[in-house]
Every structure is written in structure tokens, then in C-alpha cells.
Amino acid sequence: MNGLLATLLLVCIASPFLLASAKTQWHELDGYTFHDYAKEFNKRYEPSEIKMRREIFEARLAKIMAHNRDSTKTWKEGVNQLTDRTEKELKTLRGYRKELSTVLPYRGMAMRWSTDIEGLPASVDWRQKGIVSPVKDQGQCGSCWTFATAETIESHWAAATGQLAVLSEQQILDCTPNPDQCGGSGGCGGGTAELAMQRIMDMGGLSSEWTYSYSSYWGAAQQCKFSTNSTPAAAKLKSYVKLPSNVYEPLLQAIANIGPIAISVDASAWSHYETGVFNGCNQTNPDIDHAVQLVGYGTDSTFGDYWLVRNSWSPAWGEEGYIRLRRSSAFTCGTDIHPGDGTGCKNGPPTVQVCGTCGILYDNSYPIVAH
């Protein structure tokens, strides 16, 4: 086992909930050193990588502290298990490929949406309804799209049946081919919730985590092992709904009235978010690269309206695994000039328009469960 692998394994084994609650907070970073960081996060390095990791950590810490000194910022940054990782390593935490949503034939359910948002609750948090499972950790695999999908099906299945089943990301990862080679080949190379939900419908359902457990933490997909006998479906879909792209009201209505939503975002600036209402994405040229779960919305007494988003980078990240993104009906739009990130899409457009903070309004969907 090499040093980096040992480092990551130790972080994985250590209780993520303990890290989330006990780690050094943003206001405690004065005098914080690389030695402190390595000890706090159980880091173990090969001698050949110590210098590189130290330099990465120190550069990041300087940026984090400079950010936190800026009183105009509405969120704080902090150290976490990602602070010593290279940009390439951080990119593996994402893996969404937006091109899939622009070229796949839509097989979901058609819905009509109004622009009337009067009468909606002032705030919504589906965690309080008992239909949101604990925060998970995708590890070194670009499997965010499978987590966003499985988590959202979990929530809708729980709302329909009263049973909060933890479902298999690995089945989606292993068993969802991408013959069009759009944004890669699927698996740890990326995909979308819509692609996943279509495939789950074709397979006849999604297994539980207990019968088809997650084994791609270190970055490699496995052979498909789904079987109605050995890994029977724990939840089934009859359809799914794709929300209108770049429109505010349908997303607000859906999260208020229907349940959690699988959403796509530009998470390239999220790595060191710790707390507050985040508004730090590139709004001119956002790069949609990550799939997560929207679980609610609300209003911060100091920083205003926000979307409540669940990530899959463990509870040690952010607000115990969550981030609040700025929410506004007067949203801005930008142009994603890299829709071919990764291996690209042979039929994909050269650019796409995305709207809302971190592109949150661009590509969102939820399942219709069969129970």
C-alpha cells in the first residue's frame, strides 16, 4: 500500500461524522501548520510526496485565510480532507458530463409548470421529513451522478412507501452503458441522473446498498452484477421528470411540493467551502461538472435566500456534507464554453447556456417511483 493510498484509507476509516464536528474551524486557523493538518486528518505520505503536499496545503491555506478576511464574502472557507489534493485529484470528485442531457432522447414524463410561486412555504428542508439518508462519500470515483440519482430515488421511495431504503450507487455505476460515448463511457468517467434513471427503468429497479454495495471508492468501476435473484430491486421506477432548463419557478415548485431533486452544478470552486451562503462560482463561463441533490431552500437572516444542497464528499466537508447556494429569481446566466470536458460528446453542442448560482437551474430531474 503506497503512502497516498494509506492516507486516503485512513481518512475513509476515520468517522466522517467525527471529522465534521471536531475538525478545526475557519476561525481557528491562525498558526495552523501542515503538521497540524496531517495530524488532524490522519495523513500519511510517502517521503517523495511530502514536499508537494506541503506546498499545495500552504498555498491553499493562504487563499482560505485571505478569503475569510474579506468581510464582503457571504461564506467561509476552511481546511478539510481535500486541502492537500492536486487539481487533478479534485476533478475526480466531480465527473458529471452535461452533454448527455442535451443529446439523449427524453423518455420521461411530461409535466406542465406554472410561473406562480405565491403561497409556497418560506422554507423547505426534506431532512425534517425523514426521507433523506445520511451523507455519503463517493471517494476517488467520478460517480457523483450515481449518488445524486440513488439518493433522490431513496427520498421519493421513502415518501411513497414510508421506507427509507439506502440504494445502490454501484449498480448504476457498473450497469449503465453509454454507447454514444457522450462525456466518456459512464462509470467513474461521468454521466447524468437522466441516463441513470432510464437505465434503472430498463433493468427493472435498483438494488439496496446492502445487496450491491459500493466498491469503487478508489476510482474503478466493476462488472455489472445486477440479478433479480442475488441483487433484487429494492425500489422501482415507472418514469422520471426533467424540469424545464434555466427556469426558476419549476425548480422552486418541485422542491417545495414534490421532494428532493437531482441537480447539476459547477462545483469547481466548492472544495474548501465550510459554511455560509455560497456565491463563488464563475457566472460568466460556468462549467457544469458535478451532480448533487437539492433537499430544500430557505433564507439566512444575514445573507439572504439560499438553496440547500447535499453533496457526496462525506460529512467532513461543508456544513456536515451540505452547502447553501445563493438563490434568486433575478438570476444571471452564463455560457459554458467547455461542454466537451472529459472525452467530449460526438454530437454535443460547442457551448450551452446555464443559469442560476453555479448553474443550478440548468439540468434537474426527479423520479416517479412504482410502488
* Domain locations in the chain as residue ranges: 3-85, 100-369
CATH topology of domain 100-369: Cathepsin B; Chain A (3.90.70)
Grid cell 464528499 in the structure block, residue:
313
- How far is 220 from 242, CA to CA, in rounded Å? 29
Residues with active-site annotation: 144, 290, 311
Q: Which residues are CB-neighbours of 32 under 8 A, at least 6 positions away?
A: 24, 61, 79
pLDDT at 106: 64
pLDDT at 180: 64
Cα torsion 225, 229, 230, 233: sign: positive
For residue range 213-266, list pLDDT tens digits in order. 999 999 887 899 999 999 999 999 999 999 999 999 999 999 999 999 999 999
pLDDT at 151: 98
Averaged confidence pLDDT in the chain: 87
Phi, psi of 231 (to 5 degrees): -130, 65
- C-alpha cell at position 339: 461542454
Phi, psi of 22 (to 5 degrees): -110, -5
Phi, psi of 190 (to 5 degrees): 115, 165
Q: Residue 96's closest CA among 295, 353, 287, 315?
A: 287
Q: Which residues are CB-neighbours of 71 under 8 A, at least 6 positions away?
A: none
pLDDT at 191: 83
Amino acid at the residue 72: T
Q: Which of the residues in the chain have pLDDT under 50? A: 1-21, 100, 182-183, 340-344
CB 196 within 8 A of CB 104: no
For residue range 330-359, list pLDDT tens digits in order. 999 999 886 544 223 556 677 889 999 999
Question: Using CA atoms in the order 67, 69, 75, 79, what is the torsion angle rounded to 10 degrees?
Answer: 60
